[in-house]
Every structure is written in C-alpha cells, then in structure tokens.
Chain A
Amino acid sequence: MTAVTERRSGPATAAAEAAVPEGPPEIPSSSPLDRLARLRSHPLAVPAACVVLAVLLPLAGGHAISEPTINTFSYGILAGLLALSLNMITGYAGPVSLGQAAFLGVGAFATGLVVTKSGLPSAAAFPVAVVASALVGALGALLVGLPALRLRGIYLALSTFAFADAVDHYFFNLQKLTGLGSGITVPRPHLGPLSLHTSSNYIVVPLLALAVIWVFDQRLRGTRLGRSLIAIRESEEVAASFGVRVPWAKLAAFLASGAVAGLTGALFAYQVTVVNKNSFTLDQSLFYLIIVVVGGLGSRGGVLAAGVLFIALPKWLAALQGWDFIVAALLLVFTLARHPGGFPGMLAEARDKRMLRRGHDDLDSELPAAAAATEPPGPDQRPATGGRLEVTGVTVRFGGLTAVNGAGLVVEPGEAVGLIGPNGAGKSTLFNAISGFVTPNSGRVLLDGEDVTDLPAHERAGRGLGRTFQQVGLVKGATLVENLMLAQHVRIGSDMGPLVGTRAGRAAEESSRARAHELLEEIGLTRYAEVRAAALSTGQQRLVELACAVAARPRLLLLDEPSAGLSPAAAEHLAGQLAALRARHATSLLLIEHHLPLVLAVCERCYVLDAGSILAEGPSKKVVKRPEVVAAYLGEAP
C-alpha cells in the first residue's frame, strides 16, 4: 500500500517542486501553486464563493444562465449539503450510516406538515418549517444513533440500514403524512421583496444555507467535539483515555448530522415544491454513502464537490445519463481497492510525506535535535499539588483465571515508582484496574485519598490520572497538534463553547493550542506539528504520547512499557526525556517497564509483581538484586 502511495505521491511532489525551481527557498509560498492552494484552503473560501454566487445568480438567471441549469445546480448544492451531513457521522465519527436519505425525507415531510397544517402565511411558515425540519431530523438521528452506543462496525451499519428500510416502507407510506403517490405541495414563498418562485432566486436559499453550514462544519471538525470524533473513529479506548465521553460524542455527531440533513430536507421540499416519497428511497441513502466515500471520508471539500458533481453533472450533460452509478461505483471500488483509506487517505499520506521531507530528510536524525531541546529543566515553577496513589488489595479475575491477586502499592506525591515483573505477572491488568479500564473484583484505588474504584476511565482522567498504552495510544489519523489538544480535552471543559464560538470557548481552544505547541517544542517536534501521528517513527510517537500524557497536567502519570518496540538508543533517549518532563511538570509517576535500565534511570523505588501478587518492594537498585526477584525473572536457581 505504501509503495502505491509513494509511487503516486512521487511525481506529484516532484511536479510541485519543479514549479518553483528558481524561487528562493525561504519564500516557497510565493509560487502560484501554493498561493492558489492557500486561497482554496482559506477557511472562508467556500462561504465567500456562496455569497458571491447568491448575488450573481439571481442577476444572471434567465439570460446569461438558463433557469433549468440553475435549478440543477440548486439540486447539486442540496446534494452536497446532504453529503456533508453524512460526512459528520461517517467521515468524522466513523459509524457507517446507510440511511441518510431517510433523514432528508423526514425533514422534507416535516416541512410539508408545517406548510399545509400550521395555517401560517407562507412567508412566516418558511423559517418555522426550516427550524422544525432540522429539529425533527436531529430527533430521528438521535433515535438511529442510540443503538450506536452498543453496536460497532458492520453491525451498527446494518442497524442504520434496517431503520432506513423501515422508515422508507412504513413511515413514508402513511397517507396522512406524505400524501403517498400524489405527494405534498409546498409552494415557495415571497420573502419580503424577493420572490422565490424562480430557480435563479430560490438558489439564494441553498447557497446561504451552505455558507452557514460550512462554517458550522468547520467549527465542528476544528474544535473539541470534532477532535473527539476523530479519536473515536480510530479507537474508542484511546478516545476514552483522553477523557472523551464516547457515548455523548457519538450521539452529538448523529444529532448534528440529523439536524443538517433535516434542514436540507426543508430546503429540498421548497426546491421540488411537490414532495414525493420516491425521493428518499433506500438506494438514495446507499448512493450518498458512495458519494461521500469517493469524495473522501472526513474531507469537507471533497465530499461537497462529489455531492454537487454526482447529482448535477448527469442532469446537465445528457450523455452522462445512466453512467452516474457506474462511474461512481467504479471509482469507489478502485480507490478502496488501491488504498483502504480511499482518496483522502492517499492525499493525506502524500501531504504528510511532503511535510516530513520538508521538515527533515531522515526521521532518526531528528533524535539528537530533540535531545538538545532537553536542556536541564529549569527550577520547578509548579510545586506538586498531590498525586498520591494508594492501591489496596486489588484482585482481578477473568473467569477462572486470577490475573491480579490482592496487590497493593503506594506512590507518594512527586515520586517515581516502577512496577516490574516477568511476562504474565499481571502488570498491565493491575494498570488497567488503576486507570479504570478493568473493574477489579475486590480492592480499592485511592487518588489523593478519594476512592475512584467505581469511576469510569474518563472520569479518572478528569481527576488527574493520566496514562499511556503499551501500543501507542495516539490518534494516528490526527495531527500532532490535534493529539496534544485531545490530551487537554478535559481542560477545555465543554464542547459547546468552542463550537458556538463563545469567548470562553475560543479562549480555552487557543490556550490548549498554545500549550500543544509549547510541548511540541519541549520534545523537539515543532516542525511536524501539522503532520499526522501515523507518519512518525515509533520513537517519535512515544515522545508525543508522553507529551500528551503531560499535557493534561496529570497529578499522577501511569506509563505502560514506554520503551516497547524501541531500539536501546531510542529507549535511552526516552529515559532522558522522561526524567526531564517529570522534573519540569512535577507529577507522580508509576511506570511499568521491561527494560530495567530505564526503570533504574527514572524510578527511585519499585515494586515487583509476580503471579498477580507483590513479591518485593524497595529502592530500585536494591530490589532488582534480591534473590527472589532474580528467581522470578530468570526461573528458580538450580
């Protein structure tokens, strides 16, 4: 797979570089290509284009551009909106929604009801209908999203499929609600001086809606909630370890998606003026999923473009008619077969490679640079505020197997304690019990005197208990900055503030971004701030993981085999970084480790776990020499 991407990205990068052969290297941004790219990626590019079109099209309609052409474009924008709504669930959070057109239909029929039953004049009914449809869409999505709290992957997709099928066959067949074959008539209103009857006037509505929803979508993806969703998409466990409330975040994605789809349904109702259930069939839902995957899961621009193109192009060009499904399907199968991440995966990887190359030619030569950043830690500004861990009599059983048997340990505030033991001794299980990923059968876990035994993992994280994983616990598909901001998830406090853009919310986002950059500088990876974690070497990922653990300002840090998978040199480098980070950030530390030199370098004291029980405890250097410890590690002496 990598070979394919390399092959594909190679010429593209070469071409980009060839475009600026003479340009001075310090201002490569002066190249026309880069300027275009920057303009295109400007956050307000799409809304600005929408507003411009909303002014121009009503003037041009009827003479410069024909009404049917504008009408088709209007459909295309609505399709793009629906694609964006699907992208919020499937692209950001991960669950595959196979019933998006059903939300569209629910919204459209809600508008139908408001218009025909409310008795409001048509101009007054319009805003009411739009709001009502968004609410009803959100409600419907909430219902479909509830099983998502228990189901994952294919099973979750199938449940959305079943919902869509039932809505299609039952709800849309209710004569009173949907008018069946004859449909429901939704006449377009006059809004003040603007008559929406012509297509060239009506298109103002979808265009402005797109501008607003685009900004909302950007906020959603760019702030706390969006980062949670990206984390969930990759691993719910990692997300929870960052303190993300996984069920809430998932439901929020469904809610946002349903609201946007419902609102689009309202605009669709006014667009077609006769709402008929045939517009919301199951195959529509399925086709939208294909559109979104081809456009690029998670990529707003791609998804919007694919939505507009696949719906509008076949209507504009008669020659394309009937080929839409075939082309879309072939594109889908070939992109997926070439690269499991589809187009966005290819593009993102190519981009990472380019940035890595710009940043440095060789990943490993980055290590000394990072070491240089580890200057002797300055005087500690922040005295240890606590971080005393007390574990008493913890027992964890899996069926008949007792993995941890009455283990107890204490970490004093500011202390670094090691937990060592042979393979299978139960170290990771004890860790999971401390951090809340496993419920112990008996025993208590106290953090600064507070009993946290019954708290879920994310609440323990919120109380200052940070941890890393044996497998790298980063969100590989998110950039380093995003990872470090995710690590401060709990400190930002709320999803809504940053999403709505309140002053407090924005301030919290900004301060966490600043801290993310600060920490990146400490570990010497500033230049890779916008590279996705997946592109870094294992050693670098460990460093970022450590920085993440520190970023949340934990009182107590649990590290699970930080040197796993590292070369001895990288492990040594890590030991230095670890000691420096601890000194600078003054947290207590509990470290599981196989690599004894690392334990000896970092920990003053250590516990030895064997067969689920604490075998020995004491100053690190002495404990590892005790005969019973040596025996546990190497087997009984003959």
Chain B
Amino acid sequence: MHFPILEVTVLGLANGAIYALTALGLSLVYKATRVVNFAQGEIGTLAAFVAWEVVVKAHQSWAEGALAAVAVAAAVGWLMHRFVATPMRNASRVSVMIATLGVAFLLFGVEAKLFGPSPEILPPPLARSSFTGVTVGGYLLTPVYLFALAAAAVAAAVFATVLRRTRFGLGVLASAQDPETARLLGVPAARVSAFTWIAAAVLGAVAGLLTAPTQGVFYPFFMSGTLFFRGLVAALIGGLGSLSGAVVGGLVVGVVEAYSIEQFIHSPGLPEVVLLVLVLAVLLLRPQGLVARRALA
C-alpha cells in the first residue's frame, strides 16, 4: 500500500503549527499560574464567530475580521484575569481549572445565543487573491497553513524573547516561581497576570481563526473538543509550562495525528485512541514531558 510519507508529514506539521499555538497558550498560563485553562479552545470558537460576523455577515475584509476577533479575545482574556484568576489567586489550582471550564461554557452559551447553534463556514484568508499557496513535498500548503506555521514560529520567538530578555518578562517568570516573593520584590502582580491571560487568549483566537477554515465548519463549543484536546496533548508532551516544548509537542501531535488518520482511514476515532495512549504514557512515565525541559523560557 502506498503511504505518502512526505505529504502526510507536511500536512501534519502544518496542522501541528495550529496545535502548537493552542499549546503555547495553555503552557503560558500554566507556567504563570499552574492552571490548565479549559477555555483556551472556546476562545478560538468565539474568535471564529466574531470574524465570521465581520467577514461573512458584514462583508468586510478578512484582516478586519481577524483584528476584531483578536480584540474580543483580548477582552475575554482580561475578564478572566480580573474575575477568575485574581479573586482565586489563593484558591486550589484544581478549583481555578474548574472555573475556567465554567468560562468555556459561558462562552459556549453566549455563542449559541448570539450566533445560533448551527454550523458556519469561515472562508480562509487570501481566498480571493491569486496566491494559492506553496507546494512542499508534494503537498500544497494553502495560505492558512502558511499563516499557521508563521504564527507559531513568531509567537514562540516573541514569547521567548519577552520572557527571557525583558524586565517585565523576568517578572512573569519570577511570579510563576513564587508569586509572594515576586510581589515583595516589586513585580507588578496584577499586570503580570493580565499580560498572561490576554496573551493566552490572543493565541487562542489566532488558533481558532486558523482552525475554522481548515476544518470546514465550526459551531459553538467546536474548538473545546478537537482543538483543545490536541493542544492539551501537545502541551503535555512538551511538558506543561515549557514554551519550546509546546511548539515541539504541537508538531509531534500534528504528525502523529496525520499518520494515524492515514493508517486507520477506516476507523474514525482511532487517532483519538492513539493520542490517549500518548497522553497516558507521558503522564504516567514522564510527567515532566517528553521534550527535555531545556529552559527556552
């Protein structure tokens, strides 16, 4: 049987870039607060709906839709900082995680109320331009995937630089290590928390904007399933809290998923089982992640 290794790998890497963006958002929040943010995927759904409203309903450009989506996501991020993370900074981490799950359902409910429960289609960026993409290894990478790869690379680089090279970023890292001491040393705790949650929400929005066109349709709660799960697996493989790990983990998940879809074409859902085995193996055998914890940030 012909197994198009190269094409499948390229497709996997391209999808993996989107998972990497989700994983980056999860890892960033985990790094700063020891919380897994269950709303990370749903922020992507909300962003996709906002962009859909602007692009499809109001006939504006894709760039404007994306901008509106990112702005809304940033606002959600700030609200999470203000009404979840800050009041619960001394609560058990599992409680905060459950609260973020509540936020996911809140967004779900709001999306269903505002945009309706039916599946919608968000067109890909540059849909009307003559540029159709770049062929790599026999696989045509459409502009969405090029954006995804670029966004993942840029995001990883930006966060690595900000966190390691700036005073503010070091403050974020210090808060992550020991919030009390960091505050005593003059790290602005509120601004650090706001930055973390807003940045994660923006990453979630970008991932959502790229997921919607590649998956065909989206609907309320869509990205709390597949996208969130894959981002989570990616973050776990990379080691929760490691930004470089998130990127590598995302790419690994993308490729593993692409291979298992190709391999088990007649058994829908088997890729999930593969990912489950992967998650359990990582959690039970190497909870610090498969990627050695080299401190990128």
A residues neighboring B (CB under 8 Å) = 1, 96, 147, 150-151, 153-155, 157-159, 161-163, 165-166, 168-173, 282-283, 286-287, 289-290, 293, 322-326, 328-330, 332-333, 336-338, 340, 342
Contacts and interface: CB of A to CB of B under 8 A. Distances in A.
17 contacts: A96-B98, A154-B36, A158-B279, A162-B229, A165-B225, A165-B229, A166-B275, A282-B224, A286-B104, A286-B224, A323-B113, A325-B109, A326-B106, A326-B109, A328-B102, A333-B99, A342-B95
* Contact residues of A: prevailing secondary structure: helix
B280 A159 contact: yes
A170, A173, A324 — most chain B CB neighbours (10 Å): A170
B268 A169 contact: yes
Contacts of B283: 147, 151, 155, 158-159
A336 B272 contact: no
B84 interface: yes
Nearest to B88: A337
Contacts of A158: 36, 232, 236, 279, 283
B154 interface: no
Contacts of A332: 98-99, 101-102, 105
A166 B272 contact: yes
Given A147-B280, A158-B279, A329-B102, A283 B91 contact: no
B94 interface: yes
Interface residues of B, number: 50
Nearest to A152: B94
Interface string B82-108: 011001101111111111011111101
Interface string B184-197: 00000000000000
B1 interface: no
Pairs A-B, 9 closest by C-beta atoms: A325-B109, A340-B91, A326-B109, A170-B269, A329-B106, A169-B269, A332-B102, A166-B276, A169-B272
Contacts of B38: 286
Interface in B99-150: 99, 101-106, 108-110, 112-113
Contacts of A326: 105-106, 109-110, 113
A173 B273 CA distance: 12
Interface string B201-212: 000000000000
B272 A170 contact: yes
A287 B108 CA distance: 11
Nearest to A345: B95
Contacts of A171: 269
A173 B36 contact: no
Given A158-B232, A162-B276, A170-B269, A324 B109 contact: yes
B118 to A, nearest CB: 13
B270 interface: yes
Contacts, number: 142
A340 B95 contact: yes
B84 A337 contact: yes
A168 B112 CA distance: 22
B279 A337 contact: no
A157 B109 contact: no
B109 A323 contact: yes
Contacts of A283: 108, 221, 224-225
Nearest to A94: B94
B287 interface: yes
B58 interface: no
Given A147-B280, A337-B88, 9 more contacts: A147-B284, A157-B36, A158-B236, A165-B275, A166-B273, A322-B109, A329-B105, A336-B91, A340-B91
B251 interface: no
B92 A162 contact: no
B284 A289 contact: no
Contacts of A161: 229, 232
Contact of B102 (A151, A159, A333): A333
Contacts of B113: 322-323, 326
A236 B268 CA distance: 40
A173 B84 contact: no
B268 A154 contact: no
Contacts of B270: 170
Interface string B254-290: 0000000000000111111101100110011001000
B94 A153 contact: yes
Contacts of A328: 102, 105
B236 to A, nearest CB: 7
A293 B145 CA distance: 40
B284 A151 contact: yes
Contacts of A322: 109, 112-113
A322 B93 CA distance: 29
A282, A293, A324, A336 — most chain B CB neighbours (10 Å): A336
